[in-house]
Structure 1
Amino acid sequence: MPLLPERLIILDRDGVINQDSDAYIKSLAEWIPYPNAIDAIARLTQAGYTLAVATNQSGIARGYYDEETLETMHKRLHELVCSAGGEIAHIAYCLHGPDDNCNCRKPLPGLLENIQTKLGLKTLEGSWMVGDSLRDLQAGEAVGCHSVLVRTGKGEKTEAKGIGLEKAQVFDDLGAFADWLIYENLIP
């Protein structure tokens, strides 16, 4: 059965799935997942959703870590999600810095378009974009995603600014969003 856009959930990584750091997440030791996020990904997978990740990783361009280190973090993410009974279909990342003029760095929609192509979707209209910053939501809205802000990571600060959140639904964390989405879809 083909994937329907409304069954796709795109997650930002730092601040949504794992703890964020203003000093960047530079190693596997610094990559600390939120336990409820791993569980939420598993529950969403089991409820029939496809999950993907779109993450800016400018620490690579800045020389703080390399792609091999990033891949080690993503391998660990896949292992944890798989052992919890879930799956991440694709991880798209931007390794450019803010001044590199790429088309993939959020708030531009390039990472989401990469996910769309990789998963064989004609559109992302009606998909879900979950993030903790305005740029995450802007990337999703550019391609027709429903916006979800979580208060983890930079989410509380983003919410407090109140700018650009008119279309967003706000949840305490990824687990609360998963509860809401799974519950909403069980109602006849």
Structure 2
Amino acid sequence: MVSPNLTPQKLVILDRDGVINHDSDAYIKSLAEWIPYPSAISAIARLTQAGFTVAVATNQSGIARGYYDEATLRAMHERLKMLVAAAGGHIAHIAYCPHGPDDQCDCRKPLPGLLTDIQQTLMLSSLQGSWMVGDSLRDLQAGEAVGCRSILVKTGKGEKTLTKGSGLEHALVYADLAAFVDDLLADKLG
């Protein structure tokens, strides 16, 4: 359920792999391979408890590549929701792109389709001022396309993204999701 008082400034959109859970260049193909960062689960719960709405926007091209199916992805997302709920939090919506890089969809990040899906689902007129947290440039580009403020975490592919440096002019950089949430909840980010 979406709060009737939800404003874009109280919305935090998270990439999944590398932000919430460990990532793999070989893809996260099963529930057994989906290993969350404990600090990320508690960070999501703290956001919820502080009145923020949390959504997830994740590219899942492993489906198009035949590495796993949508039922497996649903199992991963159910586990995520269960862990967050057990910690006292809530994920309002998970938007995912099942397409491959050559499928010419409009949802695969860096395109903003997943974020506009979140915007429509949460019935927001805009995402201007929301937070987009990712570990890759394409996460941040998708967020910036719809007016989100960019947060790059060093977990997952974040260190590699930071090394490249290009396109990160507007991003704040944090060690992980928990460190960003610490500053956000301490009102250090405005």
Q: Does TM, normalized by the shorter one, top 0.5?
A: yes
TM-score, normalised on structure 1?
A: 0.98
Query: What is the aligned counterpart of 1:49 among 34, 44, 52?
Result: 52
CA gap 1:77/1:123 in 2 versus in 1, 3 angstroms: same
Q: Residue 92 of structure 1 aligns to which amino acid in structure 2?
A: A
Task: Give the aligned partner of residue 113 of structure 2.
Answer: 110
Aligned counterparts of 2:65 and 2:91: Cα–Cα separation in 1: 27
Aligned counterparts of 2:11 and 2:18: Cα–Cα separation in 1: 20
Identity %: 74
Task: Give the aligned partner of residue 14 of structure 1.
Answer: 17
TM-score, normalised on structure 2?
A: 0.97
8 Å CA contact 2:13–2:131 kept in 1: the answer is yes
Residue 70 of structure 2 is aligned to residue 67 of structure 1? yes
CA gap 1:170/1:49 in 2 versus in 1, 3 angstroms: same
What is the Cα deviation at residue 112 of structure 1?
0.2
Residue 140 of structure 2 is aligned to residue 137 of structure 1? yes
Alignment of 1:1-188 (within 5 A): 1-184=4-187
CA gap 1:118/1:128 in 2 versus in 1, 3 angstroms: same
Question: What SS is found at the alignment partner of 2:186?
Answer: helix
How many residues align? The count is 187
Question: What SS is found at the alignment partner of 2:185?
Answer: helix
What is the Cα deviation at residue 170 of structure 1?
0.3
Root-mean-square deviation (CA, aligned residues, Å) is 1.1
Query: Unaligned 5+ residue runs, structure 1?
Result: none
What is the Cα deviation at residue 186 of structure 1?
10
Aligned counterparts of 1:55 and 1:27: Cα–Cα separation in 2: 16
Query: Unaligned 5+ residue runs, structure 2?
Result: none
Aligned counterparts of 1:143 and 1:50: Cα–Cα separation in 2: 17
Q: Deviations over 1:63-85 (max 9, x none)?
A: 00000000000000000000000
8 Å CA contact 2:183–2:189 kept in 1: the answer is no
Aligned counterparts of 1:117 and 1:132: Cα–Cα separation in 2: 24
Aligned counterparts of 2:188 and 2:9: Cα–Cα separation in 1: 11
Shift >2 Å, 4+ stretches: none
Question: What SS is found at the alignment partner of 1:184?
Answer: coil
Aligned counterparts of 2:61 and 2:67: Cα–Cα separation in 1: 9
Aligned counterparts of 1:123 and 1:186: Cα–Cα separation in 2: 20
What is the Cα deviation at residue 184 of structure 1?
1.2
